[in-house]
Chain A
Amino acid sequence: MSTHVPAGYKWWTGGKSPYNVSYGKLMMWIFLLSDTFTFGALLISYGTIRVSQNYWPDPNHVFNAFPLMGHANLPLAFVSLMTFILIMSSVTMVLAVHEGHKRNRAGVEKWLLWTILGGSLFLSCQAWEWTHMITGSHSVLIDGKIQEIGATITQNPYGPVVPGMLDSHGHAVTMPGPVGFGGFFFGITGFHGFHVFSGVCLLVLAFFWTRGGRFDRLGHYEMIEKIGLYWHFVDLVWVFVFLCFYLI
């Protein structure tokens, strides 16, 4: 038996409908949807090239360094720290948005600063990781000779180990790995890092706007909320980047 629904029946009874947003927030959502496709295309490209290769470096081996720890083997420890920092910065962002809803300017300023700190720390970590990889020196057998190379967008030292061959320090010598590794790793983490950098710039801008009383004059802190959406999105993208490069 069909139930009759009266005209004008309100389907949504849970307070303010989540679809009832301002055009500014709507634009941000649509932009993020669009950016999802940008990252999606890059990650899928990475996936297709990676599965077409016979060999791909083991992330546990590639990402095993930690600042000031010398040659200690700490697989994924550093990237876990980076991820933790970025996720914590999302938490502080939530708190900033929350204070914005309460129109508490001092609270917004405080949590924005923490978020800026988190974002900057993440970028610093990335800078260290990149530098470590690029300037690293691994013994690789190229054209019959052992050469010391780091990982760049055009060369990859993390190839299969050459059986029974050791360099002068007694480390294993490898073959060059697939060059696509560096291109995709630096390309995609760089593109993500650029997003984080843009986010930090936006947050700094928002901090000074807040400080100048702009949002109090406007009567709402929606801008903080919009930047927050962007920030969480960048965080979410990192989760996928983390999954694709570090975990599998």
Chain B
Amino acid sequence: MSNEAVIQHGTVSHEVHEHHEGHHHETFISKYVFSQDHKMIAKQFLITGMVWAVIGGLMSVLFRIQLGYPDAHLPWLEDIFGHWAKDGKIQPEFYYALGTMHGTILVFFVLTAGLSGTFANLLIPFQVGARDMASPFMNMLSYWFFVLASIVMLASLFIQTGPASGGWTVYPPLSALGDASQGSKLGMDLWLISMALFVVSQLLGGLNYVSTILNMRTKGMTMTRLPLTVWAILFTAILGILSFPVLFSGFILLLFDRHLGTSFYLSDIVLSGKILPNEGGSPILYQHLFWFLGHPEVYIIILPTMGLVSEVMSINARKPIFGYMAMIASMFAIALLAFLVWAHHMFVTGMNPFLGSVFVLLTLLIAVPSAIKVFNWLTTLWKGNIRFNPGMLFCIGFVSMFISGGLTGIFLGNSTLDIHLHDTYFVIAHFHIVMGVSAFMGMFAGIYHWFPKMYGRYMNNTLGYIHFWVTLVCAYVIFWPMHYEGFAGMPRRYYDYSNWESFKQFVELNKVISFAAILSFLVQLMFIFNFIYSIFKGRRVTSKNPWGATTLEWTTPIRPGHGNWPGEIPEVHRWAYDYGKDGMDFIDQTTPVGKDESKH
């Protein structure tokens, strides 16, 4: 932290001066802790997200040890985890807790808060041309509610009965009855409280994102001149604002069922030989409420990365993004369809087959806007002067992953096939590729690309290349074989497969998958090393616009102060994608349109 101040003093003196212009003196607390500056809040989200990613990733390493080496006894596990890893073997309760928390942490804390929180905060004011968010105070609250949620969730890892262990979807009755399992006790309550705080954080953030984008644009920045990153974040924020409250309602009812004896989700249950008085409720109701968020949630994760990738790809291909309006239209279509397909997660719950077929149709329709986007990315690359820096490589990796994972989505979206594939490793493979790995790839692209804007330094390229290639190869080695396991009927969430004759064929394969998982985890640690090292020791950025980009954030000083632009906010005269136009490498958005300039 102290280095940051040193770096600032190291820059030309007038920049340091600009930093304080029009702002009262900042203390350490107001600058780094309770900051209301969107750039600092972005960094806070990013670093908190990274801490969670390491914790969540480590969990996956632990349960992959169990899956790959079910017979191994590793004494060091017992040294660390005590009775949770008795005899050096991960115990079933621990295994389920690991899986549940891995999902929760990665989906919500890393790929929702860590991703949207970082790039929405960083890029919205920069790219629309605003001094800060509409309400910097609410923005700060949004981060601190996330921290509160994080603390509660983290605390649940250390209680005697352990964290929630009923899967990240916390279906009742398992989650509604404290006596149903170890993880359904206090851990489940903390999980729900943490998620409620998380929803508040998302709401505060989302309100800010939408109103800043709609209301705070600089002069000339019409909606159709916005970079696609901002469009993507706008749709993401709207999805969050409309879907998280439904989850919130679902959680209220679940808390009632847990503690006040209501029967919203419970009916006709016998627990340990005792007939429970609950009747009339429906666990399927919870699934509807959950997936009404749960499905838009996957787009909350993937849409921002689509925006990041479009932007980074266009810059590094030195070409305008292909089909700007089609990109917006397809994101709109995806956002709309996101609300109409949730029940495709529930084909096997006994829903009316006619209703199922409606959801099949709507689900398969998402392939259309998705394909449009992929086509546009490929045509953006076509005949571009591609700069293969780590950011660009991750963009290409994103498109590769999105295609691979998207195609298997078409399998799962068919209710007839889904009956066979439901809850198998095919599903695991599908969603990890399409929203896990590809979202991470997009996020990495964003981090490598905007790191110079965040810290005034570059990340190390060599480590970046190693990071990309190892991640890409490992991701396919981990998840590709899972498709075959799923086809063979191998169910997800089982503790040990070695006793089934039909799954013995996968013993060696599971070892390979576990090995690749551990390797990919290690290479992420290398990325984090690169990140931290580069903050302090990375190569300095020497020009305002190192990538030759057109958008407004690159017109700010190298290390912009609170308020972003030292003088007036620049006026915008053109869209964000004038690359390679009229023989020019790029024309930034603040350049007025020339008289004899060609139309794009």
- Give the interface of A toward B (CB within 8 A): 21-24, 26-27, 30-31, 33-35, 37-42, 45, 48-49, 52-53, 153-154, 178-180, 182-184, 187, 191
Contact = CB atoms under 8 A, between A and B. Distances in A.
B207 A27 contact: yes
A178 B280 contact: yes
B342 interface: no
Contacts of A42: 249, 252-253
Nearest to A50: B280
Contacts of B249: 38-39, 41-42, 45
A153 B211 contact: no
Instruction: With a 10 A CB-CB cut-off, give which of A40, A53, A179, A191 has the most chain B CB atoms.
Output: A179
Interface in B263-318: 263-264, 277-282, 285, 288-289, 292
Contact of B212 (A23, A33, A37): A23
A45 B289 CA distance: 8
A180 B285 contact: no
B134 interface: yes
Interface of B: 134-135, 138, 203, 206-208, 210-212, 214-216, 241-246, 248-250, 252-253, 256, 260-264, 277-282, 285, 288-289, 292
A38 B246 contact: yes
A48 B285 CA distance: 8
B134 A37 contact: no
A39 B245 CA distance: 9
A39 B289 CA distance: 12
A191 B250 CA distance: 13
Contact of A187 (B208, B252, B277, B288): B252
Nearest to B242: A37
B245 A38 contact: yes
Contact of B203 (A22, A26, A34, A182): A34
Nearest to A53: B280
Contacts, number: 108
Contact of A27 (B135, B252, B256): B135
A153 B253 CA distance: 12
A23 to B, nearest CB: 4
A162 to B, nearest CB: 19
Instruction: With a 10 A CB-CB cut-off, give which of A33, A39, A52, A183 has the most chain B CB atoms.
Output: A183
27 contacts: A23-B212, A27-B211, A30-B206, A30-B207, A30-B241, A31-B203, A33-B241, A34-B242, A34-B244, A34-B245, A38-B248, A39-B249, A41-B289, A49-B264, A49-B281, A52-B280, A153-B256, A153-B262, A154-B260, A154-B277, A179-B262, A179-B278, A180-B262, A183-B256, A183-B264, A187-B262, A191-B252
Which DSSP category, helix, strand, loop or mixed, fits chain A's interface?
Answer: helix
Nearest to A28: B207
A187 B5 CA distance: 53
A23 B216 contact: yes
A51 to B, nearest CB: 11
B203 to A, nearest CB: 6
Contact of A37 (B206, B243, B277): B243
A71 to B, nearest CB: 29
A195 to B, nearest CB: 13
A153 B260 CA distance: 8
Contacts of B288: 48
Contacts of B241: 30, 33-34
Contacts of B212: 23
Contacts of A39: 249
Instruction: With a 10 A CB-CB cut-off, give which of B212, B215, B245 has the most chain A CB atoms.
Output: B245
Contacts of A23: 134-135, 211-212, 214-216
B266 to A, nearest CB: 10
Contacts of A153: 256, 260-262
Interface pairs A-B: 4 shortest CB-CB = A183-B262, A41-B249, A38-B245, A23-B134
B256 A26 contact: no
A27 B262 contact: no
Nearest to B237: A30
Contact of B263 (A26, A35, A183): A183
Nearest to B286: A45
A39 B206 CA distance: 19
